[in-house]
Structures are given as C-alpha cells and as structure tokens.
Amino acid sequence: MKEMLQQIVSILYTDWEVQDQLLVSWLLSSMTESLLTRMVGCNTSHQIWNALEKHFTLKVSSKILEFRTKLQNLKKGSLSLNDYLLKVKQTVDLLASVGEVLSDRDHVAAIFKGLPSEYDTFGISSNTRIENYTVGEIEALLLASESRIEKSSKEIDYSANFTTSEFDPVAEANLAFRRFRKQQYGGRGGQSLSNNGQNQFSNRSYMRTNDTAPIQNFGGGRGNFFHK
C-alpha cells in the first residue's frame, strides 16, 4: 500500500514538473533580454513569478515617486488656467495608472499648490466650506473666476507702476530749493531793507544766490543732495 502511494505521488510530481517546465519555457520566451538577465537562477515558475513581482514593484514605486514629484512641481506660470488644470489631471491619471489613486481632496490641493498668489483668497474661501468640494466643482469655479482675477491683478500692477513713476526725488528737491530761494530773496511777502547800503548788500547777495545751481543728487540715494 505504501509503495503504491509512493508511485502515485511520484507520477503526480513528474506530471507537475513537466507542466511547470513548460510554463518556465513559455515565460522566459516571452521576456525581453533585459528582463531575462533578472531571471538567472530561477528554475521554477514560482521563482520566476517572485522575481517578476519584486522587479515590477520596485519599478512601480519609482514611477509613483516620479509622478508625485511632477505633480508637486507643476506651476500655472504662463499657461492658461484650462491648460494648467488639464496638466494636473493628466498627472493624477498617471498616478492612477500605477496604482496610486488620489482622493478629490488631494487633487484639489495639488491644483491650488501650483496657482499664483492671485488665487490665494479663492483657495482660503473654498476651505471654509464644511463639506468637501469635488474636483469638477473647483475647476468650474476657477474657470468662472479666471477673468476677474486676471483683471484685478492687472489693475494692481498698473497702480504700483503709476505710484512708482509719480515721484522723482531730484525734481522734488530742485523745486523745493527754488521755492525757498524765491521766498528768501524777492518773493512776495519778503522783507526789504530800508537804507541803500543794506539794499546794495541784499542785491549782491541775491546775485550770488542766483549763481547757485539747483540741488542735484550725486549720491544716488535719499539725503545725498549738495550744491553744485
């Protein structure tokens, strides 16, 4: 009886071994040369499957890291809002293709991370709602607000440029100097001296003052004003 069982087991094992070697041959024949080099030492289909699993797990992990880094570095920049949202969606889809599925919350966070500061207020207001926004809702709201946000940004830039170009420190200093000289020598409301000697002295002083050049800024900074 024992001998009979051993014979049966031996026959079954032989059949399994034949089938397994057929699988080994089929698997190896379907691999590329670069993948075959990773199968050295694998004698059974089980060993081959384990080696393939380790290889592709590492490969998928590196892809996940690559796509996550790409998503974190995405910026709107000069892209239109629609093109930027499309790039974010494509990267999220790439992550899903390697088994890394992002939630709507993470997707929305990725969108706002790459937007310029003009959209900060929009992001803060969206976070105040109790229930979560869907990606579709956020995209629709952003697209609807794009023209208003861009218009506001241009108005701020124009105002800043206008304010900067409005003030000329050298011109202001020269104007103040001319006003001061006019008030001191011959301007309305200025004091006149009574005797001739004093008047002649005043006239000579006035002539010397007229020879004084306007104040110029030689130092390039505030407070660096000198007589020429």
Residue 79 or 222, more confident: 79
Q: Is residue 124 part of a domain?
A: yes
Do 161 and 193 sit in the same domain of this protein?
Answer: no
Do 159 and 197 sit in the same domain of this protein?
Answer: no
CA atoms of 225 and 221, how far apart (whole Å): 9
Q: Is residue 42 part of a domain?
A: yes
What is the share, in percent, of the chain residues with pLDDT greater than 70? Answer: 57
| Angstrom distances, CA of residue 80 to CA of 77, 126, 148 | 8, 21, 14
Q: Whole domain around residue 99: which residue ranges?
A: 74-166
Pairing, β 225-226 against β 216-217 = antiparallel
Q: Residues 126-153: pLDDT tens digits?
A: 555 645 678 998 898 888 887 777 666 5
Q: Is residue 123 part of a domain?
A: yes
Do 50 and 108 sit in the same domain of this protein?
Answer: no
What is the reported pTM? 0.54
Q: How many structural domains are present in the chain?
A: 3
Q: Is residue 122 part of a domain?
A: yes
Q: Residues 155-175: pLDDT tens digits?
A: 555 444 544 545 555 565 555
